[in-house]
Structure 1
Amino acid sequence: MRKRTYPKLFSLLAVFVLAVGLVLPLSPQTAHADRGVVDLWKAIKPLTTIASAMNTGAHPDDEHSAMLAYLALGLGVDTSSIIANRGEGGQNEIGSELNQALGIIRTRELEEASKVTHVKLGILSEDMDDPIYDFGFSKSPDETLSKWGEEVVYERLIRKIREHRPDVLIPAFLDVPSTHGHHRAINVITVRAFEDAADPAVFPQHREQGLSPWQVKKLYVPATEKDYDVRVPVGEYDEIYGASYLQLGEESRFMHKSQGMGRHYDEGPSYSYYKLEKAAAGAEGPDFFAGIAYTFKDLADEVRKTPGGGKLAADLDRLQKDADEVIAAYPHFARVAEKVHRMLADVLQTKAAVQASSLGADAKRDLLHRLAVKEEQLNKASAESLSLVAKVKPESGELVAGQKTRVTVSAYNGGTVTWDQVTLGLNVPAGWSARPLGETRIRQLGYNQWARAEYEVTVPADAAYFHPYRPPAVTADVEVTAFGATSVTRAVPADPVAVLPGFALAASPSATVWNTLKPEEAIPVKVTVKNYHPGKADAQIALDLPPGWAAEPKSAPLTFAAKGETKSAAFTVKPSAGVKPGSYAITAVARGNGKESRHGAQLIRYPHIGTTYFVQSAAVTVQAFDLKVPEGLKVGYVSSGFDNIDQYLQQVGVDVTLLGAKDIESGDLSQYDTIVLGIRAYGFRPELTASNARLLKYVEDGGNLVVQYHKPEDNWKPELAPYPITIGTPLIQWRVTDENSKVTMLAPDHPIFQTPNTITDADWDHWVQDRSAYNPAQWGDEYVELIKNGDPGEKEFTGTFLTAKYGKGTYTYSSLVWYREIPALVPGAIRIFVNMVSLGQ
């Protein structure tokens, strides 16, 4: 096949923001220098094409950002990004949130990243604890699809394809052994979906949801410079935006801050490469859209060939003329607004003509879908060209069930066109009520004028709590009539309107160990309560305990003077006699104002994603097992910010001090029996490399240094260890992903397996999400290899857990994923870790 570089149709930018139905949300955003004429161009460029494309990936940050920026911003193509899971199983480089809370952060980052590249976002994972979750690294697409539920994930992907109806489909990865199993799985089902999305026998229930089969025209897969069919010039520099598409793509990648994404690229030629994998009949051309209708003129030519299609073809030709006139009017706002509204009226007339035509059902559906996309884009273009600022402001975004509040909807006219009419509507969930407190329709609104409407909103007594993956609960629709046509702009609040527990509870600790060797010890539980009621409130706080357990006091009264006030109650919990090893739950309960609450509301707030909440059960997980901890054990912990193991060591009776830069550079290290470096610490604590000689001298003088896993890019050098340790590459090949894989202790009599806790094979049971990551490939003969372990059917690693005497002390390097096992309260992992940090005594 002939190789071809993409033609530069227009060296300009376009935007398509995430739409709900036929209405585009206009989110409040920080003002930037690229507003005004730049935003106007972004809004009108998509009117020039009716083509569409979809990129599929597994995790937030998998999207091909530069290519998406080129398609959506540069060509104006209706572009979508479909991601499988929410990244719950990853690490967090900006905070301590993990698991579901991390999934919330990564979802918001993905949403903000999609705004930058102006693509429609779809996520296959629909809920908390969804079957399509990020369960950690996988080496196999079969394992991934088995855990996700192949039927579940495939149905949802087919549904997204039938909803978005892309002309071109592009999986982000190949199905090759060197690639993450999640990535491979998405490739497998995306390639299969090329045919199946068009097959009415595949998921026929979609018909009941109003979705019809859809035949994608072309399927492309990632390629290399040496073997490709399409070369996308992502390095092209756009004069209006002042950046290349590669740089614009990286702007979106910088939004993935919890993963440390985003790079700075210099200007200059750069390309992304793709190879044609499959094509429908008649669409075999040499680039993404060759052989596919790209403009309204192309669509008109196709329709003109159908019986009775002449009139519709003329309508489509008129839309092509409208789009050309909109572009020609740029950058004059009033002229663009007039042309946009004329085109909007013509789109609505064409939709009616299609409905009334004798075209076949499939042809009608295709035309109506493309016209609906244009209507969405024209709504956005109207808002930009009219300089409409639409806002919705609640008195408070934090509500409780049964509460009444007021919400103001406003529209500001910043342009020279006088609007004939403005209607300010408020949207609330089913069961809620929104009563206007005055006029909602205003006749004529001129330059520098505001229109406002106030609503009284009532939240029902049985309203569901806030869910971060649901659409906004409260939005506003601002309808503006100008030049004989009415556009609709949807506004969302700056922060979400969230129904929260009236008394939001946080139990501390959220997870703890109860040592069965010390049955006389009690479990301290602190319950912090925040009042979200809109005024004074009284509550009785108690603990829901396992049978036979007791709490002192049985309950505690709390009185709140105002909303937002926070108070706490302390309890001492005594387990019943003869508690057996196992997992137990303690749940905090608040009763007051006629209701009972058992939930907390974790506030998640970062500058790049704004505010959101994680409503979850206010429970304490108690893991009961036997654990020996040496008296007076003193540990210095060097955190990279990626784990909280130090907190769990403190819970089990270890004296832990977090070490700062000055402690490492010049402090008295000899006061610590053990110093522990958190995962990837050399990469995020620069003082460690500079002070490494001090750390090795600490070991040589009798100290115990424990180093957790690193990647090569974490400033790791083999010589940082007293005897060289080289981390294996490629990293994908040097990890064990099966948490149930067999572990053999190679040195069972070593103190790490004997003192103070005797470690048996049972201590390797019930681990979670992987065994090890980034294992060493080479190490000095001085090290004792403590275990061997590998995924089933693969070679076992013997460098996962290494320890050596150095001078009078001990140096231990471990690639076991302690940062997941310890917070999960895995008994064996805690026992081994305590033994490891006890070597210094």
Structure 2
Amino acid sequence: MFTPLAVLGTMTQAQTAPPSAGVILEDLERLRETARVLYVAAHPDDENTRLIAYLANGRHYQTAYLSLTRGDGGQNLIGPELRDALGVIRTQELLAARRIDGGRQFFSRANDFGYSKSADEALSVWDRQEVLADTVRVIREFRPDVIVTRFSPTRGGTHGHHTGSAVMAVEAFALAGDPQAFADELGHLEPWQPQRVVWNAWSWGGAVHEGALTMEVGGYDAVRGESFGEIAARSRSQHRSQGFGSVGSRGNAAEQFVHLVGDEATTDLMDGVTDTWTRYPGGDAIAMALDAILHGFDPRHPGQSVSALLAVKKALTALPPNDVFVAEKHAQLDQVLAACLGLYAEATVENARVAPGEPLKLTHAVVWRQATPVAVTWQSVRYLADDETVPVGRVLQLNENETLEVTRNLPVDTALTHPYWLELPSTAGMAQVANASLIGTPENEPAYAMVYTFEVGGETLAVPVAPVQVTRDRVRGELRDTLQVIAPVAVSFTQHLEHFKPGETRTITVQATSARAHVEGVLSLDLPTGWTATPLRQEFALSAVGDRTEAAFAVTAPEGTTSVKLGVHAIVGGRRFDRDPQVVAYDHIPVQMLQPTATLTAMSFDLKIRGDRVGFLPGAGDTTAEALTLMGYDVTVLTEADLTADGLAGWDAVVLGIRAFNTRAELADHRAALWDYVKAGGNVIVQYNTNGGLPDGSLGPYPLSISRDRVTDETAAVTLLDPAHPAMTGPNRITAADFDGWVQERGLYFPNEWDAAYTPLLSMADPDEAATQGSLLVAKHGDGYFVYTGLSFFRELPAGVPGAYRLLANLVSLE
């Protein structure tokens, strides 16, 4: 959930446990193997976690998942976050999944712009060439031998993003090895040609695809004590925002692979792939050495393997130094060496929130905990942001702590902590990224990264370190908070949405919150053309950290209907600050900090309402209650206890949140009370539900059936089927213009069958499809009205779409 700046200092992350002997053993297995597999699909949750778990832990291949999008266009079952914040949640859920199943994670810059019915549509909204370039980039950086797609590049019947992801994989296969392809953008990366692309085919009922290669993946990992199906279920269960909790499976399990392009495999997914070090000249000796290390590994005394690992490290220097694969194996070997040494290295700070240019007091600490036959010397600390190395030169003693106190200045040009793909304005289909080297990576680099270097038996060992603040919680124990770069003052609006009548003047209140003591400055609004404010600026002074002040501006809207963004900024010491820090905090992912530009969506349009009191029953999470309040209603959030004749009496209307019937099992038992409330003269508005996991019986007082019908084109023409219907005439006259400016889609999961008691009010269609009339159904029931709608109010209301407010007001006002 979003948490305001005031609690940032308390939002911390639990310490990551040091690697166990079992983890070291599996890392040694991965060090021995050289084959690599890239799985490609469109969204978080598309990946086959069982296959990834098998390849990464059963065969110990380097296995990665490229998700073209971050899933920011989906829904959220655990909280109110949508769009950017949801994409951050799903990014972290994927990383949590990979920490369990052993894979790596990549992304392209493609935005999840919502459901798409064809690959052509998806690739037209995305920038096809840019997504293709990103896919080629990941292939050249990761260098997979085999690419596996989750979806077919030719078969329909699924999300257009899905098909488009497979199209991109096949096209990128042909270009990744071509040095002329994307030479300007990717010329610095060595071309790489994978061996093949296959489709990880699936079918309902387990039917075998003709010509498919079938492979058994249902094995058991004795080191972890889990089957690959159990590992996969724990991995997939990290997708909590999508409700994908899974139960582990045991026993045999087959996967199918349909050949798409490249050399065809006939007996195994990796046919023809050299998966040992023999693929490199001189690699035979490395392979033999690693086999011997694995054979002699003592889990009680991993330090006894250090000398042999150092010999492998020396042998690696004879391989091509600029080879991406070799460089990665160097880094993996250093991680294994550090684990075998029992080496604990950290950098702590007194305060995890630091502003650019401020002093950063660091305590560097190291302890060597596993006896080895070689000496260990802490050589230096290298600060990557400054490209500066501080010598240490201390010979470590077994299990003795060594510390070094250093004060550095955080560079004044250090970027504020904010997801890199959200820093620049996005197009509908693509994120814009200023630093091209970050493209493909799942998250930001550490704010002030450093590397500790050690001399171990004549070899240099590099250990990356990122600063943390360590605190003690009386209940949870040791907590760690990663370093975050903040502004000395945060600005925000007290409301994120405001409604103006055309030409109306309203008071808009802004806040300035100090993250540092003794902050003085001036606040001003950033206004679009036609909007005015008085005064133009207001001074403020904040004496202590956490102090907050408010300033009121009289803002006047222009004549006419419009929806715009207003901004606010503070000038402090000649520098401009316009960020509104927030964190996203859930217990299954690390706390995430976002610092978007502070904005208010200001809407200017005519709006009339009837009635006063509205009851709102939450579903899966949306902002309908806040929108109703903004419209002028007195809104009360209802609970199960209110779903009785007495509890429902007195409301002018009752509105159900999205997916209420999907997420509230108790609602099924209270339908009769809702229908009786309608019959007695009330209004009930039910927003969309998915067609899975619904209770038996109808979702309304008369039968209707929910389908998967939807209209994904937010600009699709809308026809008013009954312009004289009360829902269309009052208190606001609805016209086709009320469907201008809608975002992402028209609606989803429309009913496709309904009783004659319902009146369909709208007709719409995606290009080249038959029109659907199930987006808005209204039935008179007794003295009241029942409404079922799949229209995407949950997207349009927070986006400030005037027509959505006018139409919702009419539905609530039915009489």
- Aligned residue number for residue 286 of structure 2: 319
> 1:425 is aligned with what amino acid?
V
User: 1:46 is aligned with what amino acid?
Assistant: R
- Structure 1 pair 583/206, CA: closer, same or farther in 2 (3 Å)? closer
Kindly indicate whether residue 395 of structure 2 is the aligned counterpart of residue 440 of structure 1.
no
Q: Check if 1:503 corresponds to 2:470.
A: no
The answer (yes or no) to whether the contact 1:426–1:474 under 8 Å persists in 2 is no
- Alignment correspondent of 2:174: 195
Residues 164-213 of structure 1: per-residue CA shift (max 9 Å, x gap): 1110101121232211111111101111222221222322236641x122
Paired residue secondary structure (1:719):
coil
Distance 1:764 1:613 in 2: 35
C-alpha displacement at 1:475, in angstroms? 2.3
CA contact (8 A) 2:376 2:455 kept: yes
The answer to whether the 8 Å contact 1:433/1:459 transfers is: no
Does the aligned pair in 1 maintain the 2:601–2:799 contact within 8 Å? Answer: no
2:681 aligned with 1:726: no
CA contact (8 A) 1:763 1:827 kept: yes
Return the match for 2:400 from 449, 452, 461: 449
TM norm structure 1: 0.86
> 1:294: which partner in 2?
275
Paired residue secondary structure (2:710): coil
Query: Which residue in the other structure is 2:108 paired with?
Result: 124
- Are the aligned partners of 1:67 and 1:232 in contact in 2 as well (CA < 8 Å)? no
**Residue identity in the other structure for 1:815:** G
Counterpart check, 1:824 vs 2:799: yes
Alignment map for 1:91-110 (pairs within 5 Å):
91-110=75-94
Task: Determine the structure 2 residue equivalent to 1:270.
Answer: 253
Superimposed CA distance per residue, residues 219-241 of structure 1 (whole angstroms, 9 cap, x where no aligned partner)? 11122451264444343222221
Counterpart of 1:602, as a letter, is Q
Alpha-carbon distance between aligned partners in 2 of 1:266 and 1:285, rounded to the nearest angstrom: 27
1:769 Cα deviation from its structure 2 partner: 0.7
Q: Is the 8 A contact 1:392 1:475 kept in 2?
A: no
687-696 vs 538-547, which deviates more? Answer: 538-547
Match 1:781 to one of 756, 761, 764: 756
Q: Deviations over 1:303-344 (max 9, x none)?
A: xxxxxxxxx4xx32211111111211223354x445455344
Which stretch shifts more, 757-766 or 405-414?
405-414
User: Alpha-carbon deviation of 1:265?
Assistant: 2.3
Q: Could you tell me how far apart the structure 2 residues matched to 1:266 and 1:65 are?
A: 12
Partner SS, residue 776 of structure 1: strand
Structure-2 separation of matches of 1:684 and 1:419: 59
Could you say if the C-alpha distance between residues 73 and 489 of structure 1 is closer, same or farther in structure 2, counting changes exceeding 3 Å?
farther
Match of 1:39 in 2: 23
Matches for 1:534-553 after TM superposition, within 5 Å: 535-545=517-527, 551=533
Aligned with 2:621: secondary structure? coil
Quote the residue 1:741 is aligned against: 716
- Aligned runs of 1:704-719 on 2, under 5 Å? 704-719=683-698
State the secondary structure of the residue aligned to 1:190: helix
Match of 2:113, SS state, is coil
Q: Note the 1:637-652 alignment, pairs <5 A.
A: 637-652=616-631
Alignment correspondent of 2:595 = 615
The 1:552–1:683 alpha-carbon spacing in structure 2 relative to 1, beyond 3 Å, is same
The 5 Å alignment of 1:301-316 reads 312=281, 315-316=282-283
Give how far 1:653 is off.
1.0
* Amino acid across the alignment from 1:391: E
TM-score by length of structure 2 reads 0.88
2:146 to 142, 151, 168: 168
- Looking at structure 1, the residues matched to 57 and 562 of structure 2 have their Cα atoms a distance apart, in angstroms, of 55
Deviations 1:52-82 (A, max 9, x none): 1101121222222111111112211011221
Q: 1:424 to 1:254 in 2, by over 3 A?
A: farther
Matched residue of 1:617: which SS? Answer: coil
Equivalent position amino acid for 2:250 in 1: E
Shift of 1:774: 0.8
Aligned residues: 762
Q: 1:136 aligns with which of 110, 114, 127?
A: 114
Measured in 2, the distance between the counterparts of 1:606 and 1:780 equals 42
**Do the aligned partners of 1:198 and 1:213 also contact (CA within 8 Å) in 2?**
yes
Rounded Cα–Cα distance in structure 2 between residues aligned with 1:567 and 1:231: 63
- CA gap of 1:449–1:98, structure 2 versus 1, over 3 A, is same
1:444 partner amino acid: L
Work out the CA distance in 2 between the residues paired with 1:207 and 1:137. 30
CA distances 1:387-431 after superposition (whole Å, capped 9, x unpaired): 2222222222212122111122222223223742123524342xx
Equivalent position SS for 1:151: helix
Cα deviation 1:778-804 (Å, max 9, x = unaligned): 111111111111111111111221111
1:693-728 deviation line (CA, Å, top 9, x unaligned): 111111111111100110122434442321111112
What one-letter code is carried by the residue in structure 2 that aligns with 1:378?
Answer: L
Matches within 5 A, 1:99-498: 99-125=83-109, 132-175=110-153, 176-205=155-184, 208-209=187-188, 211-224=189-202, 225=206, 226-227=208-209, 229-280=212-263, 284-296=265-277, 298-299=278-279, 312=281, 315-332=282-299, 334=301, 336-352=302-318, 354=320, 368-417=323-372, 419-429=375-385, 432=386, 440-446=392-398, 448-469=399-420, 470-492=444-466, 493=468, 494-498=480-484
Structure-2 separation of matches of 1:122 and 1:573: 47
1:764 is the counterpart of 2:739:
yes
Q: Secondary structure at the match of 1:774?
A: strand
Q: CA deviation at 1:499?
A: 2.1
Cα separation, 1, equivalents of 2:388 and 2:316 = 34
CA distance in 1, matches of 2:752, 2:561: 38
Checking the alignment, whether the CA contact within 8 Å between 1:285 and 1:291 is kept in structure 2 is: no
Distance 1:616 1:502 in 2: 15
1:799-837 CA-to-partner distances (Å, cap 9, x unmatched) read 221111112211110011111111111111111110001
Q: CA deviation at 1:753?
A: 0.3
CA RMSD of aligned residues (A): 2.5
Contact 1:409/1:476 (8 A) holds in 2: no
CA distance in 2 between partners of 1:548 and 1:289 (Å):
63
Q: In the alignment, is the contact (CA less than 8 A) between 1:428 and 1:473 conserved in 2?
A: no
* 2-structure distance, mates of 1:667, 1:345: 80
Amino acid at match of 2:448: V
Counterparts of 2:98 and 2:343, CA distance in 1: 23
CA contact (8 A) 2:501 2:604 kept: yes
**Which one-letter code corresponds to 2:21 in the other structure?**
V
Cα pair 2:143 2:325 within 8 Å, conserved: no
**Seq. identity, %:** 31
Report which stretch shifted further, 57-66 or 588-597: 588-597
The Cα of 1:251 is off from its aligned counterpart by: 1.7
Question: SS of the residue aligned with 1:683?
Answer: helix
Native 8 Å contact 2:231 2:248 kept in 1 = no
Pick which of 107-116 and 803-812 moved more: 107-116
- State the match for 2:8 in structure 1: none
Q: Contact 2:40–2:65 (CA<8 Å) still a contact in 1? A: yes
Match among 716, 727, 748 for residue 752 of structure 1: 727
The equivalent of 1:702 in structure 2 is 681
Provide the secondary structure at the position in 1 that maps to 2:676. helix
Q: Work out the CA distance in 2 between the residues paired with 1:638 and 1:70.
A: 43
One-letter amino acid of the structure 2 residue matched with residue 135 of structure 1: F
Range moving further from structure 2, 754-763 or 614-623: 614-623
Once residues 642 and 43 of structure 1 are traced to their aligned partners in structure 2, the CA distance between those partners, rounded to angstroms, is 41
Kindly indicate whether residue 780 of structure 2 is the aligned counterpart of residue 834 of structure 1: no
Equivalent residues of 2:620, 2:659 under 8 A apart: no
Distance 1:230 1:190, change over 3 A: same
Alignment partners' CA distance in 1, 2:186 and 2:637: 59
